[in-house]
Amino acid sequence: MDATQRVRAMLSFTQAAELGSFAAAARVLGISAAAVSKNVAGLEGALGVRLMNRSTRALQLTPEGGTFLERAREALAALDAAVDSVAAEHGTPAGRVRLSTGVAFGQNFLMPRLNSFVARYPDIRLEIDFDDRRVDLVREGYDLGLRGGLLKDSSLISRRICSLRQILVASPAYLAAQGVPRQPEDLARHRLIGLRFLSGRNAPWQFRDATGAIAELPITPSLILSDSLAATEAAADGLGITQVATHHAWQQLQTGRLRILLPGIHHPAPLDMAIQYPHRALLAARVRVTIDYLVQAFADEPALHADAEVLAPFGARL
């Protein structure tokens, strides 16, 4: 199998693996399903291993197929990057960029910046998926992802956007009726709104004691939600106290619908928001300029960079 045949076969294989059928891959590649099948079979013959198990209903990757898929994506991305690097010398970056983002962050912070991005890079075609689940960027074929939380995936490169400062908030009406908690122990007599991650784990509430030690406070929420914006709105509507990232509550703090509780005592685990992308020796120009643009655009967003001094005026009055 020569180099041209290998590239054709790898394209057929990766499209079939990602789309789930030879027919779907054929439509994307503009060839027949029989040609896709022949290309994949030729690739398997050249490698001496089966990459896919076929049935009338679906394609299932073998363990060897899963390993080869990641390597094939890297090889095709490197080829794209080589082409892009030459093309960039003679024009603007062009081509598709697949991006994964959480629903709330994507709608509230990414979408407002797309007009200026499109004006600057009209030849880049963005494909954005809004999904709060943990996405495997490499396996699912994304160029980059906007992620928040404890970012530990060492197989990815991260460009940090900001720290995600978490705060305890409640509405002025709720606090007027139920009182303002002065110590973490006071929360036991309040209605609490918990946040449950898609993993099933509840977000912990942590506080600093008089000795400076940090410990988690067990809470019994009267309401548990799986969406940060829903928890923020529930607190703003007077349903209780919740813990959310500052950028989710920023608008309600500005309008006075929420106040911050126990500043200086509340000490949640440090979280980050970052742009992550697969580790590649060659990064396509279209992906590189997208990353650079977003890092700069988010650097100017006050809601993402509010520190303790900025948040001080929004504290609840005891």
Q: Which of 145-149, 186-190, 228-232, 287-291 comes out lowest in average pLDDT?
A: 145-149
Kindly report, as residue ranges, where domains of CATH 3.40.190.290 are found in the chain: 166-269
Q: What's the pLDDT at 300?
A: 86
Q: Which of 72-81, 188-197, 297-306 comes out lowest in average pLDDT?
A: 72-81
pTM: 0.70
Which ranges of the chain does DSSP label H, i.e. alpha helix? 3-19, 22-29, 33-47, 63-88, 103-105, 114-120, 172-178, 228-236, 246-255, 285-299, 308-311
Cα–Cα distances (Å) from 126 to 99, 105, 107, 252, in that order, read 7, 17, 15, 31
Query: pLDDT tens, 24-69?
Result: 888 878 899 999 999 999 999 999 999 998 876 778 899 999 899 8
Q: Which of 103, 109, 244 is nearest to 165 (CA)?
A: 244
Three-state secondary structure call for residue 48: coil
Query: For domain 166-269, which architecture applies?
Result: 3-Layer(aba) Sandwich (3.40)
Kindly report, as residue ranges, where domains of CATH 3.40.190.10 are found in the chain: 93-164+271-303
Neighbouring C-alpha atoms within 13 Å toward the C-beta of 153 = 21
For the domain spanning 93-164+271-303, the CATH number is: 3.40.190.10
Q: What's the pLDDT at 89?
A: 56
CATH fold group of domain 3-85 = Arc Repressor Mutant, subunit A (1.10.10)
Reported as a pLDDT band with limits 50, 70 and 90, residue 271 is confident
Average pLDDT value for the chain: 88
Query: pLDDT tens, 142-154?
Result: 889 998 876 665 6
Q: Contact at 8 Å (CB) between 169 and 194?
A: no
Kindly report, as residue ranges, where domains of CATH 1.10.10.10 are found in the chain: 3-85
Q: What's the pLDDT at 285?
A: 84
User: What is the rounded distance in angstroms from the CA atom of residue 158 to the CA atom of residue 274?
Assistant: 6
Reported as a pLDDT band with limits 50, 70 and 90, residue 202 is confident
Return the percentage of the chain with pLDDT > 70, whole number: 92
